[in-house]
């Protein structure tokens, strides 16, 4: 019955059903889980003397007289009720008398709920909610729902009441009884009734706690089941040979202790006989690429192929060139949409017959006609650009290859367990030796000339820089720096240097040519939009200027700052703004005071919340209606503890949990969308 259409309800015809559909309400189940976003407490009746001016409250008053007044402007009659609460006299005003006149009788008592406008011993209430004084049900906590045009709150309340009365008696528990007791939760029927129509603060709190727990529990369980479904025995455990040590020692630098620790975790996964499914988190410039290369080589030394998928052609090309430079003896190819058809055909054939061991590319690697002889590991770079189902698509290229995912978007641990709950997580919490922290400064209008003088001195030393703008072209409505305007200004300011312009409207080939020119040193100063947020690494670039800083999010600013500071030279980031809101000021202060991506991520969460920061839908994670990934960290920890217990019991054939696990395993596909 939970999938019944709302047209079966009293007062819901086809037209109203279409309006309800606009706010996501089509079935009884939709209504059950459509929670109020706030409540109005009408339980306490007060005298007018107890209520402040323009305060909202409930009064009981007697109608002394009812009268109408014509309003010429809207050509309607207004209804005025002259009332008294025993001491104060007042007017209750309704702006349309036609349909409401007959609802009131003189010398009768009524409840009125609304904003009280006081003037000495008199008062007014406009358009209040009302009921006869014998209707005690009026004195309750009223739910307020998200509405749509043409549907009144009273209609939504009536619809929710009907659905609850039909469904609650037939509602089956979604969680096992033993888990409900273990977590100290209220029953589901109680929770749904009290979340819609609370009878007390305590009952509302118990209902909310139950529903928050369930949202986080089902989400985390499904992610863990996704991981468990992937973590199955491979045909043969990998052997970590001395040759891998030689590959590591051949690098022109020594790995940091953090990198070595992550490599140990990866090798342990590959030796285990189970498919690896690991996320490597590391701040911008922490050395994730080398981790990826050594993981690819672990597959190659075990007779397998490996692929590294990057989000942009530029990044893929850089990985390809760097890999060839470090390991010229390994057969490697670059596969992107830019490769000409005839060459692409040859590459695909060589991949299929196993001649090429390492394949580096973009989404082109995921196309159906790219067939591997024996794919051993799939690595995706910049994981925040890929959703769960996209990642799984890459893994379908072979029978459960090892999976390594890299992300330069630091995520606090508790949240990563939810967002990446289907993976094991490693963190590179250390920067390579010789890297200097980027000096970050806020620049207002008075300091701009000083900044440009400093930039000139660095360009004269042979350094390069970026200037990032929020818009490509100038706007009549927005007072912002456009890339085209700044490009013209920089050409005049730095006429003895080569200034380039790059933005998203340019053709891919144009962008790549310009980025390569910048990398090779032919361009000194690159004016850009955020297309360089995930781009190539230019060690000689030591200046980053971000115009209209207030227009960018905190994590985005941190990513942009990370384009510099990649060499031994001191790098600088200038945050330019002439008008900072309180929120923008918080962002600037965070960046000026910290270069730690995890500190930045925590602050970004605090400012924006996880939904905006991580784009949960992008990750394939269903919308959370009540749970908050930042506020309910303690619930997340409790949920994870209970899930570990349940899975242990399930593995020992405890029948209490078989139905739950099987049901959620079955639901995985429809929950995680591509």
Write the DSSP symbol of residue 355.
Answer: -
Counting DSSP H helices and E strands in the chain, the numbers are 22, 21
Query: In this structure, which CATH number among 2.40.110.10, 2.40.50.140, 2.30.40.10, 3.40.470.10 belongs to the domain 44-139?
Result: 2.40.50.140
Q: Which stretch of 51-60, 197-206, 623-632 has the lowest confidence by average pLDDT?
A: 623-632
Q: Does the pLDDT at position 394 exceed 60? A: no
Share of the chain above pLDDT 70, in %: 88
Q: Which residue has the tokens 């945050």?
A: 575
Share of the chain above pLDDT 90, in %: 52
Mean pLDDT, the chain, rounded, equals 86
- CA atoms within 13 Å, Cβ hemisphere of 613: 24
Distance CA 615, CA 220 (A): 17
Each residue's pLDDT tens digit, 137-163: 899 999 999 988 888 888 999 999 999
H-helix or E-strand spanning residue 62: strand 55-71
H-helix or E-strand spanning residue 582: helix 582-593
Q: Does the pLDDT at position 479 exceed 60? A: no
Residue 500 structure tokens = 């380039």
Domain ranges for the chain, please list them. 44-139, 242-428, 439-594
Each residue's pLDDT tens digit, 51-80: 999 999 999 999 999 999 988 887 889 999
Q: Which residue has the tokens 């809207």?
A: 74
Torsion of CA 229, 234, 237, 240, to 10 degrees: -80
Q: 324 vs 233, which has greater pLDDT?
A: 324
Residue 95 CA, distance from chain mean position: 44
Q: In what order do the strands lie in the sheet with 375-380?
A: 332-335, 358-361, 305-309, 375-380, 402-407, 277-282, 424-428
Each residue's pLDDT tens digit, 497-556: 999 998 877 887 788 788 889 988 999 999 988 766 555 678 899 999 999 898 888 878
Q: Given the DSSP bridges, would you call strands 141-144 and 122-126 parallel, antiparallel or unpaired?
A: unpaired
Q: Which stretch of 403-417, 481-495, 602-616 has the lowest confidence by average pLDDT?
A: 602-616
Each residue's pLDDT tens digit, 305-323: 999 998 878 788 889 989 9
DSSP letter string over 429-494?
A: -SPPTTPPPPEEEEE-GGGHHHHHHHHHHHHHTT-EEEEE-SBSS--SS----BHHHHHHHHHHHT
* Burial grade of 553 (CB within 10 A; 0-12, 13-18, 19 or more): middle
Residue 428 structure tokens = 């590179």
Question: Averaged over 419-447, what is the pLDDT?
Answer: 81
Q: 530 vs 124, which has greater pLDDT?
A: 124
**According to the model, what pLDDT value does residue 396 have?**
66
**According to the model, what pLDDT value does residue 71 have?**
85
Residue 147 structure tokens = 């509405």
**According to the model, what pLDDT value does residue 22 have?**
92
**According to the model, what pLDDT value does residue 426 have?**
86
Contacts of 73 (CB under 8 A, 6+ apart): none
Write the DSSP symbol of residue 27.
Answer: B
Write the DSSP symbol of residue 385.
Answer: G
Buried b (16+ CB within 10 A) or exposed e, 344-368: beebbeebeeeebbbbbbbbbbbee
Q: Which stretch of 85-89, 292-296, 337-341, 487-491 has the lowest confidence by average pLDDT?
A: 337-341
Contact 121, 134 (CB under 8 A): no
Q: Does the pLDDT at position 637 exceed 90? A: no
Same CATH topology for 242-428 and 439-594: the answer is yes
Each residue's pLDDT tens digit, 262-301: 999 999 999 998 888 888 888 777 888 999 999 999 999 9
Q: 565 vs 450, which has greater pLDDT?
A: 450
> In CATH, what number does 439-594 get?
3.40.50.300
> In CATH, what number does 242-428 get?
3.40.50.300
Q: 218 vs 622, which has greater pLDDT?
A: 218
Contact 626, 212 (CB under 8 A): yes
Maximal CA-CA distance, the chain: 99
DSSP letter string over 555-581?
A: HHHHHHHTTS--SSS--EEEEE-S---
Distance CA 420, CA 410 (A): 12
**According to the model, what pLDDT value does residue 2 have?**
85
* Burial grade of 320 (CB within 10 A; 0-12, 13-18, 19 or more): buried
Q: Does the pLDDT at position 390 exceed 80? A: no
Distance CA 131, CA 128 (A): 10
Taken in order 194, 199, 200, 201, the sign of the CA dihedral is positive
Q: Which stretch of 66-80, 403-417, 557-571 has the lowest confidence by average pLDDT?
A: 403-417
Q: Does the pLDDT at position 613 exceed 50? A: no
Distance CA 184, CA 181 (A): 5
- Three-state SS for 248? helix
Put simply, whether the predicted model's pTM sits higher than 0.85 gets the answer no
Each residue's pLDDT tens digit, 205-233: 999 999 999 999 988 888 778 766 655 66
Question: What is the total residue count of the chain?
Answer: 674
Q: Which of 35-49, 423-437, 602-616 has the highest mean pLDDT?
A: 35-49
């Amino acid at each position: 019955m939970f999938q019944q259409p709302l047209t079966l309800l009293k007062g819901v015809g086809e037209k109203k059903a279409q309006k309800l559909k606009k706010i996501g309400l089509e079935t009884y189940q939709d209504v059950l889980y459509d929670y109020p976003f706030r409540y109005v407490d009408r339980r306490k009746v007060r005298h007018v003397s107890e209520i402040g001016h323009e305060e909202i409250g409930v009064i009981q008053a007697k109608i002394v007289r009812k009268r109408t007044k014509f309003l010429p402007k809207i050509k309607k009659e207004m209804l005025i009720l002259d009332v008294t609460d025993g001491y104060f006299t007042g007017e209750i005003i309704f702006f349309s008398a036609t349909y409401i006149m007959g609802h009131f009788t003189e010398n009768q008592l009524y409840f009125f709920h609304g904003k009280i406008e006081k003037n000495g011993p008199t008062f007014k209430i406009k358009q209040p909610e009302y009921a006869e004084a014998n209707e005690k049900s009026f004195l309750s906590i009223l739910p307020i729902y998200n509405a749509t045009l043409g549907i009144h709150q009273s209609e939504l309340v009536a619809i929710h009441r009907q659905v609850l009365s039909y469904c609650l008696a037939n509602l089956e528990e979604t969680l096992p009884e033993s888990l409900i007791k273990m977590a100290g939760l209220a029953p589901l029927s109680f929770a749904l009734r009290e979340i819609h129509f609370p009878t007390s603060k305590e009952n509302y709190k118990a209902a909310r706690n139950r529903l928050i727990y369930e949202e986080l529990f089902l989400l985390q369980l499904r992610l863990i089941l996704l991981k468990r479904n992937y973590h199955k025995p491979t045909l043969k455990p990998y052997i970590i040979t001395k040759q891998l040590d030689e590959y590591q020692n051949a690098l022109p630098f020594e790995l940091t202790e953090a990198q070595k620790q992550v490599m140990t975790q990866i090798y342990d996964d590959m030796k285990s006989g189970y498919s690896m499914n690991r996320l490597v988190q590391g701040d911008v410039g922490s050395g994730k690429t080398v981790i990826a290369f050594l993981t690819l080589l672990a597959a190659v030394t075990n007779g397998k192929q490996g692929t590294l998928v990057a989000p942009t052609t530029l990044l893929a090309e850089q990985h390809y060139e760097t890999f060839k430079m470090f390991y010229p003896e390994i057969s490697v190819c670059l596969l992107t949409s830019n490769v000409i058809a005839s060459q692409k055909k040859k590459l695909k054939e060589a991949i299929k017959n196993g001649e090429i061991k390492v394949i580096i590319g973009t989404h082109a690697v995921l196309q159906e006609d790219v067939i591997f002889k024996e794919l051993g590991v799939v690595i995706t770079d910049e994981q925040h650009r890929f959703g769960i189902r996209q990642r799984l698509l890459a893994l379908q290229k072979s029978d459960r290859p090892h999976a390594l995912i890299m992300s330069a978007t630091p995520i606090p641990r508790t949240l990563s367990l939810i967002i990446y709950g289907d993976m094991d997580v490693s963190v590179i919490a250390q920067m390579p030796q010789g890297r200097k922290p980027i000096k970050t400064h806020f620049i207002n209008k008075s300091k701009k000339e000083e900044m440009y003088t400093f930039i000139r001195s660095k360009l004269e030393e042979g350094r390069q820089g970026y200037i990032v703008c929020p818009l490509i072209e100038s706007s009549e409505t927005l007072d912002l720096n456009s890339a085209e305007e700044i490009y013209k200004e920089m050409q005049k300011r730095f006429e003895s240097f080569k200034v380039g312009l790059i933005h998203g409207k340019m053709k891919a080939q144009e962008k790549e040519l310009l980025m390569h020119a910048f990398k090779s040193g032919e361009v000194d100063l690159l004016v850009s939009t955020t297309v360089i947020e995930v781009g190539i690494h230019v060690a000689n670039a030591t200046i980053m200027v971000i115009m209209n800083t207030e227009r960018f999010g905190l994590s985005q600013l941190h990513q942009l700052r990370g384009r510099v500071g990649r060499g031994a030279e001191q790098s600088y980031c200038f945050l330019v703004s002439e008008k900072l809101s309180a929120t923008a000021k918080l962002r600037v202060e965070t960046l000026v005071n910290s270069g730690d991506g995890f500190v930045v991520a925590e602050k970004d969460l605090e400012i924006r919340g996880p939904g905006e920061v991580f784009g949960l839908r992008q990750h394939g994670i269903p919308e959370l209606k009540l749970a908050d990934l930042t506020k309910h960290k303690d619930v997340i920890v409790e949920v994870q503890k209970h899930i570990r217990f349940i899975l242990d019991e399930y593995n020992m054939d405890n029948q209490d949990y078989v139905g739950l696990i099987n049901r959620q395993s079955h639901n995985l596909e429809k929950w995680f969308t591509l």
